Chain A
Amino acid sequence: MALLEVQAISKRYGEGHTAVTALEQVSFALEAGQLLAVLGPSGSGKTTLLSIIAGLLHPTSGEVRVGGQSVAEAQGGGAAFRRRNVGIVFQDYHLIPYLSARENLLLVPHLDGRVRGEDRARADGLLEEFGLAPRAGHRPPMLSGGERQRVAVARALMNEPQLMLVDEPTSHLDTERGFQVVELLRAQIHGRGTTCVMVTHDERMAAHADQVIRLLDGRVVDRPATGDKDLSG
């Protein structure tokens, strides 16, 4: 059974003739440990798709299942579900500026109740693995863009999620660092058996993914969009 099943998702914003159809009948399935790259130009519906998978947005129709469980039916408005099963890397990271790198990682267990010794050990392990150990005590404003992104990825791994969602991981980085981060992500995913949906407008990222789908105007298409040089994400 697939870990992530996206079944005929459609999303319409607004009503009447001002309505925008952001997604139209999007379906796919992902096995555990797979990295999916969702490619598409700006406005194609990538963020909308990610939000629906995270349970932050309700689809107009269709259903998302994680490990066979419907995200829409998850208890507590999906917050508890996200705390336990989902790791999110935001496009602009959303690190808490007044917490150190290590504390940003520990925020995850903190929000889920309490921080145990094993959580601290896990945070230290991740910081070590991501080459952030010497920067563990630094706050985000003191870190470089690449370091910040690695903290964001490490934070998303803190709860050992079944599912990781990554929005535009390369938009703030130069090409070289962008590839490095995606490689790091892929190593983590394969090593841990985590399923990952990575959203990007950068066609070159397709090479790093196990599976690729392309979005254009909310629909899945089978060829790269041409003539669209939009780099804004």
Chain B
Amino acid sequence: MLALKELLNGKVRFGLIALAVGLVVALTMLMSAMSEGLITGMTGAKGSLKADALVFQGDTQLALERSLLSAESVSAVAESPGVENAYPVGHAMISVAPAAPEEAKASGDGAGGDEASFDARLFGLGGEWEQLPRVEGEAGPPGPGEAIVDVTAQVDGIELGDTVSLTPIGRELTVVGFTENRRYIMVPTFYVDMPTWEDIYLATALGKTAEEASGQGEDLPEGSQQPPAEGISPALGGSASIVAVELSDGVSPAELEGNLGAGFEVATPEDAALAGNGMSVMVLATDGIQWVSLIIGALFIGVFFYITTLHKTGQIAAMKALGASNVYLYRQLLIQIAVLVTVAAAIGMFLSLGAGMSMPPTMAFDPQPVGWGLSLLAVYVMALVGSFFSLHTILRVDPATALDRGEH
């Protein structure tokens, strides 16, 4: 096989270019896996909610952080025409210390400053617990004060059966199970029942007032008049951040938004996931990087073979004079490109798997066979496009020049 013999003859040259293209392939694969991982890590909790539509408070741009629906709103949504089924979902930001620090509790100071404490997100679910894929722990919903946690929290030392304390609010959660791909904003994510969420949400939202109300406000500055938490809690009872709904057949999220009237925003979980937190820009950026690196890879291959082809126009002319057709010569080139891209793809896959394996699990890395397949396909297609430059040269070479030694 002529094409392969030529490749083997120029092992170093072809090897280097295969390595260069392999690095580019690795880059696109890493980008694909990381952007997939980034999207799952950023929005898994939101985008994977089992629902046809998510109902947010109006004017919140589909942001969980800003949306708060009162108990009346929640039941209004549930009873709205077109809604088959509904359950409330709560969201809160929390600070977690892996183990309950006994002495801190004893001194009545649950405040942070503990180096081991980390940022986390809390989700309350009002049902549909089977939607959380369970990778560890018992199936079934958690009880009060219990949590199912995204498995990446294990990196922060959280284990099954652990009791973590939430600072500075002094609440505790016992880990009864682990789920996966259900993170939010890349931080460990805890799932609890709605009463537990409500308690923690209120405590977080109202800050230290709960403690102050229970008689620990001695060191408040003179004249400071913060309302006691007890006065507010009843007003917020039964509220949720959003409502996840199952729509009747043929009802669209937009129709539901129309039915609900002002004060609500409705979107599919997928759309909601891409709203806020700069998600749409992030997706654009990672897609952009993938495309740019694919194009660079294609240019590498295209230019490399173009230069190689230009260098051997004499040989091509001789082959043509000996009776080789353009089809034959182009096929040889395509075989070489296919071999090179395949070697490069293998190098790229090897490198990206290696890189992926050495990444901590919290790092967003989620290799998708489909994404990688598409990257590879794109490299092949781009290389094919690059080969057209060489084809142009092959077509142009005049076999008569083989007899000529460039005397003119």
A and B physically associate: yes
* A residues with CB within 8 A of B: 42-43, 47, 50-51, 54, 56-57, 76, 79-80, 82-83, 88, 90-92, 94, 96-99, 103, 107-108, 110-112, 139, 167, 233
Out of A42, A51, A79, name the residue touching B323 (CB < 8 Å). A79
Give per-residue flags for B378-408: 1 if the beta carbon is below 8 A from chain A beta carbons, else 0.
0000000000000000000011101111010
| A79 near B318: Cβ-Cβ < 8 Å | no
List 12 additional contacts besides A42-B407, A80-B323, A94-B315; criterion CB under 8 Å. Answer: A50-B403, A56-B321, A57-B400, A79-B320, A79-B323, A82-B323, A83-B322, A94-B317, A94-B321, A98-B10, A111-B319, A111-B328
Asked if B363 is at the interface (CB within 8 A of a chain A CB), the reply is no
From residue A180, how far is it (CB to closest CB) to chain B in Å?
A: 23
| B5 near A94: Cβ-Cβ < 8 Å | no
Which residues in window 1-38 of B have CB below 8 A to A? 2, 5-6, 8-10
Chain B residues closer than 8 Å to A92, beta-carbon distance: 405
From residue B406, how far is it (CB to closest CB) to chain A in Å?
A: 10
How distant is the Cα of A44 from the Cα of B320 in the complex, in angstroms? 25
How distant is the Cα of A47 from the Cα of B321 in the complex, in angstroms? 14
* B residues with CB within 8 A of A: 2, 5-6, 8-10, 314-315, 317-325, 328, 398-400, 402-405, 407
How distant is the Cα of A96 from the Cα of B2 in the complex, in angstroms? 10
Write the chain B residue with the least CB distance to A91: B405
From residue A52, how far is it (CB to closest CB) to chain B in Å?
A: 9
| A107 near B322: Cβ-Cβ < 8 Å | yes
From residue B359, how far is it (CB to closest CB) to chain A in Å?
A: 42
Chain A residues closer than 8 Å to B10, beta-carbon distance: 98
| A56 near B5: Cβ-Cβ < 8 Å | no
Chain B residues closer than 8 Å to A94, beta-carbon distance: 314-315, 317-318, 321, 402
- Please name the 4 residue pairs, one residue from A and one from B, whose CB atoms are nearest each other, closest first: A83-B323, A94-B318, A98-B9, A56-B400
Chain B residues closer than 8 Å to A88, beta-carbon distance: 321-322, 402-403
How distant is the Cα of A97 from the Cα of B312 in the complex, in angstroms? 11
| B403 near A90: Cβ-Cβ < 8 Å | yes
Write the chain A residue with the least CB distance to B8: A98
From residue B11, how far is it (CB to closest CB) to chain A in Å?
A: 11
